[in-house]
């Protein structure tokens, strides 16, 4: 504590004024990040680089299958969406 702040503190206490304690507006609550384990996905949605939905796939055992393409997209768009998903997974690690 610097000598000046000690003098101010001593002067305010000796003058009869008290320093009030700060009280928080709301008590902080420590909450866990996940309250429950997130459910496993029931499907997979593939997006292209623009963010458009290319296909939706159903969950099948440990993988995904039965992908249905959205209207207006080609098989080439679907393959590019798989590549895009793979690259996103690599950057997320």
- Per-residue pLDDT reduced to its tens digit, 26-53: 655 665 555 555 555 688 888 888 889 9
Distance, in Å, from the CA atom of 77 to the CA atom of 47, rounded to the nearest integer, reads 9
In a domain, 66, yes or no: yes
In a domain, 27, yes or no: no
Domain span at 69: 42-93
In a domain, 11, yes or no: no
Q: Where are the beta strands (DSSP E) in the chain?
A: 43-47, 53-60, 63-69
Residues contacting residue 55 through CB under 8 Å, at least 6 positions apart: 45, 46, 67, 68, 69, 70, 73, 78, 81
In a domain, 34, yes or no: no
pTM of the entire predicted model: 0.50
In a domain, 31, yes or no: no
Q: Is 56 helix (H, G, I), strand (E, B) or coil?
A: strand
Q: Is 71 helix (H, G, I), strand (E, B) or coil?
A: coil
Domain count, the chain: 1
In a domain, 72, yes or no: yes
In a domain, 57, yes or no: yes
């Amino acid at each position: 504590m610097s000598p000046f702040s000690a003098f101010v503190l001593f002067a305010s206490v000796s003058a009869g004024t008290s320093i009030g304690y700060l009280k928080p507006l709301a008590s902080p609550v420590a909450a866990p990040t996940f309250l429950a384990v997130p459910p496993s996905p029931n499907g997979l949605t593939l997006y292209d680089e623009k963010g458009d939905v290319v296909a939706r796939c159903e969950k099948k055992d440990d993988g995904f299958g039965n992908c249905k393409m959205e209207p207006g997209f080609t098989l080439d768009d679907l393959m590019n969406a798989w590549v895009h998903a793979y690259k996103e997974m690599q950057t997320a690690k």
